[in-house]
Structure formats: C-alpha cells, structure tokens
Structure 1
C-alpha cells in the first residue's frame, strides 16, 4: 500500500547530506571540543563550522548562536533566561494567544512567580496587529515574543514591523521561528529581532537539537548551570554530532529558500480541493502571508480526524482534539473565530522537499473517494 507523508511541519526526515556530515562523529571524531589536544581540536573546529552554517541561514554572527536540545529549550531560555536576568528593569512580557505551547507554558510558569503577561489576540487570518502590541506596552514591559509563523495555519506574522516597534520603545524582541527557518528567508537584522528560535527536526536535521540566536549585548540567565559552555549560556559538553547535523541542514536550506516549486505545489493542491468541493472546503490562515508548504483546510461539517482515520495511508494532522465523541476546536482556530462546524473539519497538510505532484493527485483521489 502506498504511504504518503504530508506532515512536514511536525517533523522532517533527516537529509542524506546531513547523515553524511554526521557519520565521522560516530567513528573518528570522539574528542571533547573543550580539550586542547589532538582529539579535541578537530571537534572544536567542526563545532565552529556548524555555528557558521547556522549563522549563515539567519544573517548573524557565529558567536550569537547557542546550541540547545531543540526549539522548546530555546524558547524557555529566551523567556525565562531573559526574565530572570532583567526582572529588576520590569516584569511585563507581551506575547500572542496563538503561540505554540513551548511559549505559552513558560509564560504561564513566569506568571506564577510574578511576571505579568499580556496575550494579544489575532484577526480572522491568525495575524497579530502591531498596533495592538503597541497598545499593550507599559513602562514595565521588558520583552515581546511573537512567533514568526504559526505551526498550524502557516500564517506569517508582521515580525519586521513588531521589531521596529520594539526597537523604538527599547524592548527586547524574541521570535519563535521553529516552523519558518529553512522555509522562508530570515535575516535577524532586517527583522529587528534580539532572539530567535530554530528547531532542527523541522528543517531536515535530527530531533534533539535546536538553536537560540541571542544578539550580542542581550543578557540571559542560564537555565543549566555548570561549566561555561555555549558562551556561558548552556552548561554541558556540546552535542557535537547533532550540532554538525543542524549546521549542514542550515547550509542546505539556504539553497532551497527561493525555489518556487513548493509553493506552486501547495497552491495546486488548494486549487484542486477548491475545484472539487467548492464551498465545502475552506482555507484557514492567511491566503498570501503564509508558509509556502502549509495548507490548513476545513472540510465543512465533517470531522477532520474521522477523514484522516479513513485514509490510514496518509500522514497529516489536525489541531482539533476528540474527547468521547465531542470535538474540541484547535485553540488557534478558536482565536481566529472559525465557526465550530468549519473548524472541526480542519486538517493541516504540510508539504516538503520530497513531495511530488503524483502524491498530491493521489491524496486528492483518496479524499474524494472518502467524502463522496
């Protein structure tokens, strides 16, 4: 039976070139990168190269790249690390209502220990308004954290405008770019961000590795204390194997960024669905300002999970949860005011480098057969 994977926003396969780059670290390069002898020096050089490769993807200095265990740790370091280091300046943080739990939950933790968090809403497309963020700023505001793109709908946020706003008010700005990095061009200086999160397994690197970009001069309290690894921000011997893998993945991603093929295939998929079902299918998220690979659609008055269950050979996802026969709408779609009869039929299809037109045509056939 043919199996088709359209869940690249959840996780990507490791690129062959990434595996090749990692292989020597499984055999020959076993030294500690902090060691000054013959076994450590080459490994330190590999780490330096990996930092340069990641920095090349987002336009920063290699010394501003902090390797972490993934996007969640990077987000926690950005939020908690900044709060603990800077709470003497103020205790107010602004974020949005459609953030990933890796932002929402650390914010809720900080609220328990004295932080004040403002969660700004979004419009019907899931976009935050810079004006709403400006209204939320107080003399106590020390940090703004808004995701670069939404993991469910793919909607891109007006990060550059928010960054300019943050700079004008002298407030630090973090963006979670876990879904965006490697899919759309990102330059930290053009975006005016002070911190940015990358998750390796979203861009064809292994799971268990991520990055927090930290602009020089931004003070953070480490979450993990020990020796002075990662410029004193994350103690523990570096995971050289996975860092080298992520570095290579970022280098490869740079060559794919402006290839229109993925967006064209995603648009083709949506146009075919629209042609087949008309008003029976609705797009969730911004029609234009969205990741080139992400298509979140609702099959009106259907249940998304039931449709996926009927096509077990298709890997895709739905943000809504089923509990004892009732449907709980995805929190993101709820914040976008998507009606329940529409939102309960939502499915996120996320395409990747390996997705073909033949696969999309096959998925269209499966959906038509199931719904008809």
Structure 2
C-alpha cells in the first residue's frame, strides 16, 4: 500500500486546524491596515477599537459556557489556566485550608502543578478512576477533609475521552464548602457547559482544541472567587493576569467559540456518524480492545488497544496516519500511559494503544483510510512476529 501524499489526520484531541473562518477574522487584527493597536491604549481610537474587539471576543467565550464576560480571564492556553486556577486559588485561600483533591489521570498541567504545590507545603490527594475512567461522587466524598478547599477534576479525559459527572462531583465539593475547578480543554464545543447552573467555580478553556489558534486560552473565575496572580505587571485582567493582550489570538478564540456554540450539534452528529463507521470497521480485528466501554466517553475520541503487537513498531509503521499513542503531550515517552495503567490496562496493550480522534473536517474517506492502514499494519506486523 502506497503512502498518501499527506497523512490522514486523526489527532484532533492533540490540536485542531484553525477553521478558515477563524483565520480570516484573525487576519483583520494583524497588519497596518487592520486593528493592530494595543487594546490597553485608551488614548486613541485604534486602541479603543482593539479593546472593543477583545471585549467582543470575551463575550463570545462567555456565551459558550453561559458565563458573565467579566468572569473570563485571558491566558496563554489551558495549561496556564490550570496553573492559575490551582496555584492562584490555593495561595489566595491558604488561611482556610491547605488540602487539594484531584485525580491520577488528569492532564500533566494539573498533576505537575499539584506536585509543585506540595513543594510549597500544600497537601494533595489523588483519586483513582473506575474501569471507565470516571471519578465517582462517593470517592470524592470519602476523600474530603475539613481542610479541603479545592477539588479539581477534568470534564473529559484527553487520552480516553471518558466523561466525569461534573454536576454531581461539583455538588459534593460545594456541600463540603470546597471550590470546584474543571479542566474543560477537551469538553468545550463537545458537551454542554453552563456555569450558570453547574456547580463550577473555575473552568479552564483552550482555543486550539476548538478550531482556534494556539497560544490563547481562558480561565472562568466565578464572581467572588479569590485567585492570586501568577504573572505581575500592569494589572491586566482585573489584576489576575498581567501582560499585553494578543488581540488577533483573542479574536480567533472568540470566533472559534462562537462557531462552536452555533455548530456543536451539527459537529457532534457528523463526528458520531464517523465514529460508528470507524468502530464497525475495527471491531472485528483480532486482539482489539476498547479502552473504555461505549457510552462512557465523548464521540470524538476513540482509544483502542491491540494484543500481540509491538506498540512502537505499530506507530512507526503507520506513518501515513497522524494519530497518537496515549496523550500527545507524552508522545516522546515510551513508558505505558499513566492514564491507561490507572484503568487497569496491561502494559503491553497500553503500549499498543492508539488514540484516534475525529473532528469537524474529518471525512468518511479519512475513516476508511485509517481503518485500512491499521488493519494492513497489524496483519503485516503479526505475520512477521509469527511466520507461517
């Protein structure tokens, strides 16, 4: 089988291409003939226009999650938003307690930040998920202590697509008096989010997971929630995050979130149809295992593992398919994924697990081509391992 000129892209969970409509809007805020001025420059019209664009985008991001625009704080991405949520909240509220609860399958932006907080003298409890990657309200309730002030649990796992019941988890946290942070990088634009009705105090968002540009994100901070800044200088974003705002990136995120709000149901139907087609083409393969059971995750992420095949060889032989083994952030690590290990998946299978993620621009041809590549590669590698 000859390699296609361009690999089939099935790594939307790592990043999405910028929607052409987003790129077109961003271009209006870059050059001399556009609205390029510093949005903090309030002494002239160009600065006012840039500020107007920033505030318009702030409302677009807020609208997707049903927030007040004044509760949106711009960051450089979800990683910074996670850091600001955890470190900023724990430092600002340490007089009330020093205990943080999260889970052992969170993104490294949470786990590494939690480890950093331990170096400052805070205490961290890591919850273990069930077989389908979920943290239960009962688990959380048992882990809460009198000095617990923050619970941080992701809405959708970036490796398996498993979904937490954030409404139930948030209620347990609030009943105890703890604040609730949700990493929603993989959730925005895929599942409904409504901070007006959901018990969420802090919510991390990313643009490049929703067909927007890289390098821009946001943290929702419920009014009245105290967060200490990590970056100082200028007092931007109501003192929570200083730095000159990148108007073009912010406009890109706002446009992307507006499109996600308008087209979420359409995107989900398209992706669900493609997922069904992909599953049907793969499920007959010998030695195939889905990392979580159907119905426990989002449609756009499919995690599948294979027995009797070397994981590194599998990836190396599939150069015509752009996908990931576990999390893209750990793609240089040959150790089994810590997420898959936490689900009880054997190391040999975890190393031979593919994360196939679909998106707005995926097609039936992509799905059929990916299934053919996987089937052909598995057959060839197994024949080499066990010659007739």
TM bin, normalised by shorter chain, reads: over 0.9
Q: Describe the SS at the equivalent of 2:225.
A: coil
Q: 1:263-321 CA distances to partner (integer Å, 9 max, x unpaired)?
A: 1211221121012x15x111012421211110000011223332221121110000287
CA contact (8 A) 2:270 2:360 kept: no
Aligned equivalents of 2:141, 2:350: Cα separation in 1:
30
Aligned equivalents of 1:315, 1:120: Cα separation in 2:
32
Aligned equivalents of 2:30, 2:120: Cα separation in 1:
43
CA contact (8 A) 2:184 2:204 kept: yes
CA contact (8 A) 1:305 1:318 kept: no
Aligned equivalents of 2:164, 2:77: Cα separation in 1:
22
- 1:88 aligns with 95
TM-score (norm 1): 0.96
Q: Describe the SS at the equivalent of 1:190.
A: coil
CA contact (8 A) 2:325 2:331 kept: no
Aligned equivalents of 1:304, 1:266: Cα separation in 2:
23
Runs of 4+ in 1 over 4 A off after TM superposition: 320-324
Q: Describe the SS at the equivalent of 2:15.
A: coil
- 2:13 aligns with 9
Q: Are residues 1:267 and 2:276 paired?
A: yes
Q: Describe the SS at the equivalent of 1:258.
A: helix
Q: Describe the SS at the equivalent of 1:318.
A: coil
Relative distance call for 1:6 and 1:79 in structure 2 (3 A) is same
Aligned equivalents of 1:118, 1:152: Cα separation in 2:
21
Q: Describe the SS at the equivalent of 2:197.
A: helix
In the alignment, which of 354, 357, 360 is matched to residue 350 of structure 1?
A: 357
Q: 1:21-76 CA distances to partner (integer Å, 9 max, x unpaired)?
A: 11111122122212222111111110110001001111101000001001110000
Q: Describe the SS at the equivalent of 1:189.
A: coil
CA contact (8 A) 1:75 1:102 kept: yes
In the alignment, which of 128, 136, 148 is matched to residue 141 of structure 1?
A: 148
Aligned equivalents of 2:90, 2:159: Cα separation in 1:
28
Deviation at 1:183, TM superposition (A): 1.6
Gaps of 5+ in 2: 380-388
- 1:254 aligns with 261
Moved more, 355-364 or 25-34: 25-34
In the alignment, which of 20, 25, 39 is matched to residue 33 of structure 1?
A: 39
Q: Are residues 1:371 and 2:378 paired?
A: yes
- 2:224 aligns with 217
TM-score (norm 2): 0.92
Q: CA RMSD in A?
A: 1.6
Q: 1:70-104 CA distances to partner (integer Å, 9 max, x unpaired)?
A: 11100000000001100010000000010010000
Aligned equivalents of 2:292, 2:375: Cα separation in 1:
23
How many residue pairs were aligned?
368
The within-5 A match list for 1:232-311 is: 232-259=239-266, 260-275=269-284, 277-278=285-286, 280-311=287-318
Aligned equivalents of 1:5, 1:236: Cα separation in 2:
35
Q: Describe the SS at the equivalent of 1:54.
A: helix
The within-5 A match list for 1:187-226 is: 187-226=194-233
CA contact (8 A) 2:132 2:296 kept: no
CA contact (8 A) 2:207 2:253 kept: yes
CA contact (8 A) 2:129 2:135 kept: yes
Gaps of 5+ in 1: none
CA contact (8 A) 1:196 1:212 kept: yes
